[in-house]
Structure 1
């Protein structure tokens, strides 16, 4: 089972920062999950929300700031400044350490024209297409990535109770994975996906009892804010 550090080691460190990614790697995790938006000047930046307010010391929309301005904003703590990373910085790091990455395109609330093209160009620049899984709640962005690059692995991300016949739906678009909320997932959902040849990666698994259930259902991967204890329970340090 693959263990994705959800926004890095976000259970202990500021989410979606290079510190959180590095701490997850130091804990033995080789698969990360992160979120991308576009800055005012069209650069790919790593942050979860459309707004800066929750995770930084600034306010307003991410897309209202230039990259240089975003990098000067503190996404860490007062004692440990962490700038908002650009995807270019992350890709250099991921390439160096052989990291597998799930990149969530954050276009479900605000669409950034051309973000899929920019993302693919960045991945090709660093030779990371084969080490990347693309997901989004905006399934149009996922389908667009498949049109641009059929060989890149993709996933339909869903919330709540998910989709009926999700495996058939994903297979119809040649999408390799289904990413549901573990709180609502059933074994029947997993079995239907597997019958269609579609993998299942589940979010966000911090409860070890729920992890045990996911293991018994033989899901392909889990996203967690606490990668070290999850990997320890699974007996894996390579994922």
Structure 2
């Protein structure tokens, strides 16, 4: 059976990337929870998916244009504050491990420092669609596991996989093929398929040998 990764906590059940969502992922028994990080104006790691605040909070500005204090004055759709990565790490420590998606420049150094400060190198995996951010992570601390996300397999992705030391390959569910899984496992890499939100897709990926799936609805796959 593959491991279950709650997407942005358990985004199909609670407001994404909030403490309530991470608690739901814990309650459901997820093996990991995925989250996204941006930097505030004063270089604090904020757990939010979008570069702008309009979709999930009461503001229309960009995350990087507001200080932490200003961001803490806002409310998510469920009334909670935006959490910092430190708050989520403290909240989830010894309960569920983290899959941290880097969304912006500057996040590799900040995440590396936070991981060291909290002594959680073995409890986190850093992922991104941006290979430059992953290369920066490798240079800062090669012991932190890294994974490349991609929506479809292409010549560019193939070149990156061949040239970068990666622990994880993170294809969208629709990009997973038997050859991709076999190649990853031959190279001692794990396959994490994301956006897996129905049982039929999950069954197909299980048959292909996928190691972990990211889902908004963990309860579909946890018995």
* In the alignment, structure 1 residue 191 sits paired with structure 2 residue 192: no
Shift of 1:229: 1.8
Give yes or no for contact 1:57–1:75 (8 Å, CA) kept in 2: yes
Give yes or no for contact 2:126–2:145 (8 Å, CA) kept in 1: yes
5+ residue gaps, structure 2, are none
1:71-150 equivalences in 2 (<5 Å): 71-77=72-78, 81-95=79-93, 97-107=94-104, 112=105, 114-150=106-142
TM-score (structure 1 length as normaliser): 0.88
How far, CA to CA, are the matches of 1:139 and 1:50 in structure 2?
18
How far, CA to CA, are the matches of 1:185 and 1:99 in structure 2?
26
Q: Choose 143-152 or 35-44, whichever is displaced more.
A: 143-152
Shift of 1:164: 4.8
Shift of 1:172: 3.3
Shift of 1:147: 1.1
* In the alignment, structure 1 residue 215 sits paired with structure 2 residue 212: no
Q: Choose 30-39 or 63-72, whichever is displaced more.
A: 63-72
Provide the aligned C-alpha RMSD in A: 1.6
Give yes or no for contact 2:22–2:92 (8 Å, CA) kept in 1: no
How far, CA to CA, are the matches of 2:148 and 2:107 in structure 1?
17
Give yes or no for contact 1:10–1:226 (8 Å, CA) kept in 2: yes
How far, CA to CA, are the matches of 1:199 and 1:167 in structure 2?
16
Shift of 1:66: 0.9
Please give the per-residue CA displacement for 1:209-231, whole angstroms capped at 9, x wherever unaligned. Answer: 01001101111100000012212
1:1-239 equivalences in 2 (<5 Å): 1-77=2-78, 81-95=79-93, 97-107=94-104, 112=105, 114-159=106-151, 161-164=152-155, 169-170=160-161, 172-232=163-223
Please give the per-residue CA displacement for 1:75-131, whole angstroms capped at 9, x wherever unaligned. Answer: 133xxx111100111111122x34211100002xxxx3x321111111111111110
Shift of 1:167: 7.2
5+ residue gaps, structure 1, are 233-239
How far, CA to CA, are the matches of 1:4 and 1:165 in structure 2?
27
CA 167–2 in structure 1, closer or farther in 2 if over 3 Å, else same: farther
User: Aligned with 2:110: secondary structure?
Assistant: helix
User: Aligned with 1:16: secondary structure?
Assistant: coil
CA 170–176 in structure 1, closer or farther in 2 if over 3 Å, else same: farther
Give yes or no for contact 1:167–1:196 (8 Å, CA) kept in 2: no
Total equivalences in the alignment = 222
